[in-house]
Structure 1
Amino acid sequence: MARVVVDVMPKQEILDPQGQAVANALPRLGFDGITEVRQGKRFELEVADDVDDATLDNIAETLLANPVIEDFVVRRVEA
């Protein structure tokens, strides 16, 4: 078995209201110096060793991310 992580983030040109809300709250909580926050999603998958990268990309593109408004990165990680 292999562990795969898929990180999904809104594209830079897409408004991120959740990230903006966090960025606005940080100074009120005493955390200064943060200029931007972007909020995304992380998926962790346990996959059989014979699942290839093209299949993983297809899963990410068709189910985990909306490629119109989101970018994604698929990576295999050490267990």
Structure 2
Amino acid sequence: MRHLPMNWLRWAMLFSAALLAGCLDKEEPMIEASSQTCTPQFWKTLAEGKRRDDLVERCMTRGGYKHSVPQTF
């Protein structure tokens, strides 16, 4: 049985890692908060996760959230 050179093993591991890196966390486009997307029925069609949570947060604060003015006493 022939032993493979260690350099070949390192290249194989590096190549495998590069291929797997493309499979992780693909960035999905952000859904715009509108009257069509800000309904519970639409939210139920989305998979659970950060994308849906971000949309719900934008819908809940749409138009009604205003930063408070700092006050000094």
TM-score by length of 2: 0.27
Higher helix share: 2
* Max Rg structure: 2
